[in-house]
Amino acid sequence: MAGLIIDNVQKSFGQTHILKGIDLEIPDGEFVILVGPSGCGKSTLLNCIAGLEEVTSGRILMGDTDMTHAAPKDRDIAMVFQSYALYPNMNVRKNIAFGLEIRKMPKAEIDEIVNNVAKLLQIENLLDRKPSQLSGGQRQRVAMGRSLARQPEVFLFDEPLSNLDAKLRVEMRTEIKKLHQRLGTTIVYVTHDQIEAMTLADRIAVMKAGHVQQFGTPQQVYDDPANMFVAGFMGSPSMNFLRVEVGQNGDDYHVLIASEGHTYQLPCPKAQGDLSGYVGKDVILGIRPEQLTHVMPHVEEGEFVTKVPVKIEVTEPTGADTLVLTRINDEECECRVHPAEAGQPGEMMDILFNMDKAVFFDIETEDRI
Amino acid sequence: MTKSNRSKGIDYWLPKLVLSPTIAITTVFIYGFIFLTAALSVTDEPLMTIFSLTNPNIDFTFDFVGLDHYVKLFENDRWNGALLNLGIFGVLFIGICMIVGLIFAILLDQNIRAEGALRTIYLYPMALSFIVTGTVWKWILNPTVGIEKFMQDIGFTSFTFDWIVDPQMAIYTVVIAGIWQSSGFVMAIFLAGLRGIDTSIIKAAQLDGASLFSVYTRIIIPSMRPVFFSAFVMLAHIAIKSFDLIMALTGGGPGNATDVPAIFMYQFSFTRSQYDMGATSAMIMLMGVAAILIPYLYSELRGEKQ
Ligand SMILES: Nc1ncnc2c1ncn2[C@@H]1O[C@H](COP(=O)(O)OP(=O)(O)OP(=O)(O)O)[C@@H](O)[C@H]1O
Ligand SMILES: [Mg+2]
């Protein structure tokens, strides 16, 4: 097994620069998730790691070996594609065995591996079927089986669950997590699904337009985003961004918000950023919907909690919580309240603004303060 | 209610009304004449009198002779020669067209530049009629004006290429012209098939360690079976019906060296007035085409239903 080092990798197709210098250092056995908007270069990066695309510049190392210019077959990497990419003319057994046959493994050994993999993924009864006779979830298992059989150093997954229905996706997610815990192989995994990213990852790399914006644990990325893009991209429903003015009371800083003609001061914890350079200026306040709740006595006593009456514009019940849409500083703002506490659209409601985890961004650079 | 019923009535009848002349014409001039030809092939001459409209004494009597004409046909040396020629032509034409078409399709599939232009160039012969192809190749292969003369003029005085006038070799010139005409079309079919294959399958095979050669031989080509089948059927029926190409290129000659069933049928029916032999050979050709097309249509329609 081996770790993976991606050192300033750039990739252009003709004049279009897709990857603009990617640096990732992935220790052996880590589960890394790549997220980012469509077209930001996630698949391109996976293809570069696999050797299916030649990098324009930069280096790719596996363990201590420089693999930048190695052929795909010499990299000992297996990849699971979004479309599964099963060989349509071969049955499941042949699909799994193909890579081993190409590597000239003895027949008996191949049979043993195929049977083990089939047992692991519970596809033993499907071995003689063609891919066209399988359901989406079964194909997905076969595609994983094909990569598992080779026992590669590194697994790459390109949106492997995106074609499955919601229930199957949750099941397969758990399977993949178990598999990783059992095998301990390095995995790089692309997904658009927030929950998949948060639950599976040891670390998440958030990409945008060919750059890695942040590379950290799910909790770091969620609570401590590097910039407005990461903050807005991670989390669903997404973080509220409000343009606010910074004020100062002695040593303490606060930001000002207006709701229904009244102005409120929200005290800011020092740990969440040094606002000293911004007194009297505007910043962007980032606050997640779950920090804006109905009135709960034990929360209300907190040092950085303020009660603000707001006007309800829209309510969106999600079952466990109800999302209440309101206007703060003339911008939309979502709050997450208990369904029983949510009022009707047009009514007023008291909302607790908990600033413990609030984050601040510079208006110009959109970076964290 | 009544109104909607009437408008539904028009919707219902209009397509049928528009299509009915075509259906009537097809029924008479295709299926009717197939039936007449079939009847002609198992009866004796007198039936022919119904074709001569100027003859006032139309005689509807005929003798049913069973398979006599078929037996006679297969005892005819010229027919057997024509069948042999069709065999040689068919096998070489279909086989080489498929190989050439597949190779060109695979080469074009490698994301080369100017693919659009090359595709048009290869496909262009298909836009010509077989008559034009035949005539052009007749000139090219004619020893006194074509390749042979050209090579001798530029100094290779001992160069000979006179297959077109050589009874042993003339059928191969038909093969050459046929391939020139049709292989681009086969290439287009194969290219469409190759393009229909998910590129991630090729990527997966590369990661599995397969060379480009084994990617094609073990995965792509085997999964294009339906495409091969379609190409085969189209080429096979071109081969069986081939008439215009040979008429323009060799006229069936030298002698009867490039005779094929279609030419045999034409000459017996229309220059020798042996309608029974003509009809019988036409029926054999129809059976040949049907033997190829029916399984094809069957599998296509069944595929659609699933
Ligand atoms: N072979 C190619 N030639 C030219 N441009 C390409 C090529 N492959 C990808 N691109 C471009 O590179 C960009 C990134 O593509 P990529 O497939 O890596 O996106 P992605 O992040 O995986 O998106 P998605 O989430 O939609 O899968 C896209 O703008 C795409 O148009
Ligand atoms: Mg992608």
Residue-wise DSSP of A104-140: T--HHHHHHHHHHHHHHHT-GGGTTS-GGGS-HHHHH
Lowest mean pLDDT among B168-172, B286-290, B299-303: B299-303
The predicted pLDDT at position B5 comes to: 52
Atom 31, ligand 1: residue with shortest CA distance: A39
Atom 24, ligand 1: residue with shortest CA distance: A38
Query: Cα dist. B300→A76, A195, B294 in Å?
Result: 42, 45, 10
The predicted pLDDT at position A10 comes to: 93
Pairing of strands A16-26, A65-66: unpaired
Give per-residue pLDDT as tens, B259-282: 889 999 998 888 887 888 888 999
Q: State the Cα angle at A312 between A309 and A314, rounded to 5°.
A: 155
Give per-residue pLDDT as tens, A72-117: 888 889 999 988 899 998 999 999 999 999 888 899 999 999 998 8
Average pLDDT in chain B: 83
The reply to whether ligand 1 has any atom less than 6 angstroms from the CB of A354 is no
Distance A184 CA to ligand 1 centre (A): 30
Helix (H/G/I), strand (E/B), else coil: A80: strand
Q: How many other CB atoms are found less than 10 A from the CB of residue A305? A: 19
> Cβ(A27)–Cβ(A34) under 8 Å?
no
Are B200 and A50 a contacting pair at CB < 8 A? no
- With bands split at pLDDT 50, 70 and 90, how would you rate the model's confidence at A183? confident
Distance B118 CA to ligand 1 centre (A): 27
Among A142, A99, A143, residue whose Cα is nearest residue A123: A142
The predicted pLDDT at position A8 comes to: 92
List the structure tokens of B197: 């294959």
Are A72 and B198 a contacting pair at CB < 8 A? no
Question: CB neighbours of A99 closer than 8 A, spacing ≥ 6?
Answer: A78, A146, A149, A150, B207, B208, B209
User: Taking 90 as the threshold, does the pLDDT of residue A64 lie above it?
Assistant: no
The reply to whether ligand 1 has any atom less than 6 angstroms from the CB of A18 is yes
State the Cα–Cα distance between residues B31 and B24, nearest whole angstrom: 10
Average pLDDT, integer, range B35-62: 65
Average pLDDT, integer, range B209-214: 88
| Identity of the residue numbered B166 | D
List the structure tokens of B84: 């042999």
Strands in A305-311's sheet, in edge-to-edge order, are: A292-293, A348-354, A305-311
* Residue that is written with structure tokens 């001992």 in the block: B158
B94-99 long-range contacts (CB < 8 A, ≥24 apart) are B94/B232, B94/B235, B94/B236, B94/B239, B96/B175, B96/B179, B96/B183, B97/B178, B97/B179, B97/B182, B97/B183, B97/B186, B97/B231, B97/B235, B98/B186, B98/B228, B98/B231, B98/B232, B98/B235
Strands in A186-190's sheet, in edge-to-edge order, are: A77-80, A154-158, A186-190, A31-35, A203-208, A211-216
Distance B217 CA to ligand 1 centre (A): 29
> Cβ(B85)–Cβ(B250) under 8 Å?
no
Residue to probe by mutation, ligand 1, list A16, A44, A45, A47, most atoms within 8 Å of CB: A44
> Cβ(A42)–Cβ(A205) under 8 Å?
no
**ipTM field:** 0.78
List chain B domain ranges: 1-66, 68-305
Q: Indicate which of B113, B194, B198, B200 best probes the interface with A, i.e. most A CBs within 10 Å of its own CB.
A: B200
User: Taking 50 as the threshold, does the pLDDT of residue B306 lie above it?
Assistant: no
- With bands split at pLDDT 50, 70 and 90, how would you rate the model's confidence at B58? low
Burial class from Cβ neighbours inside 10 Å (0-12, 13-18, 19+) for residue B274 reads middle
Strands in A282-287's sheet, in edge-to-edge order, are: A262-268, A252-259, A240-249, A282-287, A359-361
- Which atom in ligand 1 lies closest to the alpha carbon of residue A14? 4
Strands in A65-66's sheet, in edge-to-edge order, are: A16-26, A4-13, A57-62, A65-66
Average pLDDT, integer, range B290-294: 87
The predicted pLDDT at position B42 comes to: 83
Strands (E), A99-222: 154-158, 186-190, 203-208, 211-216
- With bands split at pLDDT 50, 70 and 90, how would you rate the model's confidence at B61? low
Residue to probe by mutation, ligand 1, list A9, A10, A15, A16, most atoms within 8 Å of CB: A16
Distance A71 CA to ligand 1 centre (A): 21
User: Taking 60 as the threshold, does the pLDDT of residue A150 lie above it?
Assistant: yes
> Cβ(B192)–Cβ(B119) under 8 Å?
no
All residues of chain A having their beta carbon less than 8 Å from the beta carbon of residue B214 are 102
The predicted pLDDT at position B304 comes to: 53
The reply to whether ligand 1 has any atom less than 6 angstroms from the CB of A92 is no
> Cβ(B78)–Cβ(B259) under 8 Å?
yes
> Cβ(A350)–Cβ(A309) under 8 Å?
yes
Question: CB neighbours of A53 closer than 8 A, spacing ≥ 6?
Answer: A11, A44, A47
Helix A136-149, helix A166-183: angle, nearest 10: 10
The reply to whether ligand 1 has any atom less than 6 angstroms from the CB of A240 is no
State the Cα–Cα distance between residues B167 and B153, nearest whole angstrom: 25
Superfamily classification of domain B68-305 = MetI-like (1.10.3720.10)
Higher pLDDT, A366 or B50: A366
The predicted pLDDT at position B2 comes to: 47
Average pLDDT, integer, range A10-27: 92
In chain A, the domains with their CATH numbers are: 4-233 (3.40.50.300), 240-361 (2.40.50.140)
State the Cα–Cα distance between residues B58 and B49, nearest whole angstrom: 6
The reply to whether ligand 1 has any atom less than 6 angstroms from the CB of A43 is yes
Choose the most confident range, by mean pLDDT, from A30-44, B42-56, B216-230. Answer: A30-44
User: Taking 80 as the threshold, does the pLDDT of residue B253 lie above it?
Assistant: no
The reply to whether ligand 1 has any atom less than 6 angstroms from the CB of A42 is yes
